Chain A
Amino acid sequence: DIQLTQSPSFLSASVGDRVTITCRASQGINSYLAWYQQKPGKAPRLLIYAASTLQSGVPSRFSGSGSGTEFTLTISSLQPEDFATYYCQQLYSYPLTFGGGTQVEIK
């Protein structure tokens, strides 16, 4: 199985901050990576697919980059509605796996 390691697992930041979350894969996965945002009591929401493509309707302050084994999700200017947990998911091979999540909280 491909393991995904997200860092940090917890992040405290202020509105307006630039935030970067990293996802490392245990083996190369090309660009077959997605990022999701999840708020408490809600289903995950797709933000980024194919490592760097912004899903329709997602604000442009979100961006993704990387390929192979190292990926990043960046929020250029954190907004109040961005406080949530973020997950990466690899879609390169079965079984599909998720990272452990990064919880972004208000400083």
Chain B
Amino acid sequence: QMQLQESGPGLVKPSETLSLTCTVSGGSMNTYHWGWIRQPPGKGLEWIGDVRFSGATFYNPSLKSRVTIYLDMSKKQFSLKLTSVTAADTAVYYCGRRTTVAGGWFDTWGLGTLVTVYS
């Protein structure tokens, strides 16, 4: 059974870059799409972006100018970079596996990692 695990710094300073990695175990990456979702404390879920197994990326326009997601199937990882962070980027960040059918859903999630932007 495939498992996902987020890793990266838990604290980031304002204006710096948030970098997280999701490591995939227990299966092949090239039959799924991959995504990042975040959840500010006490609030709802926000989709950040997807990377397809082809490498194509799709981002939330609200973050598009600041976000990059990239895939490294040789390491069985995909990563998130979010630049110029502010306190509004404080959230639990989840990575997720998305099925490739039309309207594919997120069927497997990492445990999540809390990232706090502090000064």
Contacts and interface: CB of A to CB of B under 8 A. Distances in A.
Interface of A: 1, 30-32, 34, 36, 38, 42-46, 49-50, 55, 87, 89, 91-92, 94-101
Given A44-B37, A46-B107, 18 more contacts: A1-B61, A34-B106, A43-B109, A43-B110, A44-B94, A44-B106, A49-B105, A50-B103, A55-B107, A89-B45, A89-B47, A95-B58, A95-B60, A95-B61, A96-B35, A96-B47, A96-B50, A99-B44
Nearest to A33: B103
B102 A44 contact: no
Contacts, number: 62
Contact of A95 (B47, B99, B103, B107): B47
A59 B73 CA distance: 34
Main secondary structure of the interface of B (DSSP, over half): loop
A100 to B, nearest CB: 5
Contacts of A101: 44-45
A44 B44 contact: no
- 8 shortest A-B CB distances, which residue pairs? A32-B103, A49-B105, A43-B109, A34-B105, A96-B47, A91-B103, A98-B45, A95-B60
Interface of B: 35, 37, 44-47, 50, 58-62, 94, 99, 102-107, 109-112
B109 A44 contact: yes
Contact of A43 (B44, B59, B94): B94
Contacts of B94: 43-44
A99 B46 CA distance: 9
A87 B44 contact: yes
Contacts of B61: 1, 95
